[in-house]
Structures are given as structure tokens and as C-alpha cells.
A and B are shown apart, each in its own frame.
Chain A
């Protein structure tokens, strides 16, 4: 008799563990964000070409990093879930998707806010912004597919397959978009050529990226706890939990 440990041990043991971890990550995220924002807005020097407007990269660049990293992490969880039929991994993939989409959106919005003072226009079809836009489409496709399949296990597996297909395609898409943008617009506009970075700037960006990481983990854990409760509402451990919280509410 082979027992699938992933399947049986995970949700009910992971639920309280995740509950304990959330405050730590949330506090770390808050502290790092304050430190990062202080460095980027107070300590980092003003750029002699772009003035103060450049400071938006302290949000833009880490958000862009996160949007890509989260997609990879999500595809990894999805792949593990598909290969090992592990429910928790699939739930993690599902929990990460909205956060990834939000970071992609932040990267897009901050990118266009940065573009306005630099190039006088809200949107340029620059390779990096365009790739972010396509990444947003990929996230939305994943979320839409999962949302439209009623059976949660089927939704997990279909979503996982889509995430893997997307992950294989991302480098190809990125390459093609880069190729396209070099063909179509010479070299006048290029977001990749960020202002020459001072050490403090790099530090600010790294700390902001770390803060985003902690935030992602905290939010993903919160969301995965909700998904667990919803999916396993007929399981004994969820019933016990709701009984406990009900009695606590009365007292």
C-alpha cells in the first residue's frame, strides 16, 4: 500500500504552520519596505539627468523582477503538483497567481509613469514594457482558466499545464519581442539603459525587492489558507477548526 504523504499530511498540518509564519513575513515586509523607501527617497542622490522622477525605478524594477520570478515559482509549484499529484503545490500555484499579476500591473503602471517625464509619453512600445504586458496576459489566462473550471482538482491540473506551457514560451516571447523592438525603433528609447547606478541606488532596489519577496510570501500564505479552508470544507479538521473559532467567539 503506497501512501501519498503529500496528499495526506499537507493541508491540515500546513494550515496552522502557515498561520504562525504569516506575521513574521508581514512584519519583515513592512520593515524592509520602510527601510527601502527611506534609502530610495531620502538617501539616494538625485540623478543629474532625470532629476527626482527617476526614483520610481525603486518600485518599478523590483516589481518587474518579482513579476517574472513569481511566474517561474508558480510554474514550478504547478509542475510539482502535476507530477506528484500534490494538492498543496497546486494550491500554492493558485495563491501566487494574483500576486504575480498585481506586480506585473505595478511594473506596467510605474513604467508608464516613468515614461511620461522621460519621453513625454505614457506608453512606449519598448521591449521590456511590452514583455510585461504579455506576461500580464499570461497571468490573466491562468487565473481565468482556473476560475472557469468547476472541479478544483481539474482546475489545478489544467492550470498547471497552462503555466508550464507558458513557462516554456516566456523565453521565446521575450526573445521575439526584443528582436521586434530592435528592428522597429533604432536605439533612441531604451529602458534597459537605466541611469548609471550608484551603490546606494542598487542597495535601495535590493531592499525593496526583498520587501516585495516577504510581502509575496505573506500574502500567498494567507491566500493558500483561504483556499485550503474552501477546498477542504468537508474535511474533519476544518470542521473542528470552525467549531473552535465559534466557541471562542461566544466566550
Chain B
């Protein structure tokens, strides 16, 4: 547990010293979601009908572009090796790193999302569901993404490759997440969607760190 906290604190401290990286993710989210109204037109009815999908896809992409940073720096400077040699379960340390990644890249997006939702003319109850669905779903994105980030360590063109590997695996989260917001827009209960989203995150929490740990061992060889 000590090592777990050490890794979490270390990654948060590093992110704090490199605040611009965090801002980059947020700006990306902001820009992508502002491009759609420019491309489609400012019609509030149209915007509000595409909002769930657009905002979720933007959140998904923002999480994905930050993935390449998750292990790459540690891999390059050798601290990943030291982590592999720590007398603790690597999968556990991976959860600490993933949690730090989510706190730094996922949570800000969740908090910013309702503001952008307002620009998309989403009603209040849908805004609430949007925040809630992102809160439940983005941890799964970080956890699944970590597998892809670990697999592509030290590989040529890893940024693009990680997208190819990870985006198909994000589809269920996208469907349930955007579905939840859409359901609440149409006055239906979003509970089923949200439960499935939580299930995805829980399943990812159990399985993904194991796969990530295995992938890290393969990549470091």
C-alpha cells in the first residue's frame, strides 16, 4: 500500500510540475467540441440532439491523446524498470498510475463537460446525467487505455497505433455513456445505461491492470 501511495503521489507531483500537459488535454477537449457547431451550424435543436455523442467522443479522444504519456516518460528514463523491480504487485502499481492519469486527464474533462453542454443547449437534467455518466465511464477509458499505452511502448508511431488499438475497445463505454445522456434528453430513465457503465468500469478495474502489467513486462524486455 505504501508503494501504491508513493506512485500515486509521485505521478500527481510530476503532473503538478508539468501543468501545461494537463491544460493541453483540456484545450483539446474544448477545441474538438467547439468544432462541431462550426461544422454543423448553430441550430440549438440539432446541437442538443448530437450533444451526447459529440461530447462523449470528444472526451474519449481527449483521454486517448494523453495516453501516450502514461508510461512513455517512465520507460524512457528507466523509472519504469525500477517499478517492475519493486517487490510489489505490478498490477497494483498500475492502478495507482492509472488513477493519477484519470485524476489529471479524466476528472478535469468531467468537470468541464457541463459548461460545454450548455453551449450545446442541453437541458439541466441531461447535463447532470452527462457529468454522472462521464464520472462513471472515464475511469474505464483510462484503465483500458493503459493496456494500449503499455503495448505500444517503444514502438514506432505509437501515438497513432494506440488509437487503432484502443478506440474499438472504447465502443461499449461510448454507447452506454452517450446513450445515458440521450435517454435523459428524451425523458427516459438513464439508470440502465449508468449501471452498465459502472459495470464496464468495475470489470475494467479488475481485468485491465493485470493485462497492463503483462503488457509492460513484454514491452520492457
Contacts and interface: CB of A to CB of B under 8 A. Distances in A.
Given A141-B164, A176-B171, A162 B151 contact: yes
A169 interface: yes
B168 interface: yes
A169 B207 CA distance: 11
Q: Which of B155, B176, B200 has the most CB of A within 10 A?
A: B155
B17 interface: no
A166 B156 CA distance: 22
Contacts of B31: none
Contact of A161 (B164, B167, B214): B214
17 contacts: A145-B151, A148-B152, A148-B161, A149-B155, A154-B218, A154-B221, A157-B218, A158-B218, A161-B147, A161-B151, A161-B218, A162-B151, A165-B211, A173-B172, A176-B176, A179-B175, A179-B196
Interface in B25-79: none
A119 interface: no
Interface residues of A, number: 27
A147 B39 CA distance: 36
B156 A148 contact: yes
Interface stretch (A1-9, A132-140, A207-215): A132-140
A172 interface: yes
B215 interface: yes
Interface string A148-182: 11000010011001101110110011011101100
Given A148-B161, A157-B218, A165-B211, A173 B168 contact: yes
Contacts of B196: 176, 179
Given A154-B221, A157-B218, A161-B214, A172 B172 contact: yes
A162 B149 CA distance: 12
A158 B164 contact: no
A172 B165 contact: no
Query: Which secondary structure characterizes the binding site on chain B?
Result: helix
B169 interface: yes
B157 interface: yes
B139 to A, nearest CB: 16
B168 A134 contact: yes
B168 A141 contact: yes
Contacts of B165: 141, 144-145, 162
B164 A140 contact: yes
The 4 closest A-B pairs by CB, nearest first: A176-B172, A137-B168, A176-B175, A141-B165
B114 interface: no
Contacts of A241: none
Given A145-B151, A165-B211, 12 more contacts: A144-B161, A144-B164, A145-B161, A145-B165, A148-B152, A148-B157, A168-B207, A169-B168, A169-B172, A173-B168, A176-B171, A177-B171
A235 B47 CA distance: 63
Nearest to A131: B171
Contacts of A145: 151-152, 155, 161, 165
Interface string A174-200: 011101100100000000000000000
B88 interface: no
B124 interface: no
B179 interface: yes
Query: Which secondary structure characterizes the binding site on chain A?
Result: helix
Contact of A148 (B155, B168, B219): B155
Interface string B179-221: 1000000000000000010001001000100010011001101
A176 B174 CA distance: 9
A158 B169 CA distance: 16
A176 B192 CA distance: 12
B142 to A, nearest CB: 15
B148 to A, nearest CB: 8
Q: Which of A165, A173, A175 has the most CB of B within 10 A?
A: A165
A144 B155 CA distance: 11
A204 B165 CA distance: 36
A29 B215 CA distance: 38
Nearest to B153: A158
Contacts of A169: 168-169, 172
Nearest to A164: B211
Contacts of B176: 176
Contacts of A134: 168, 171
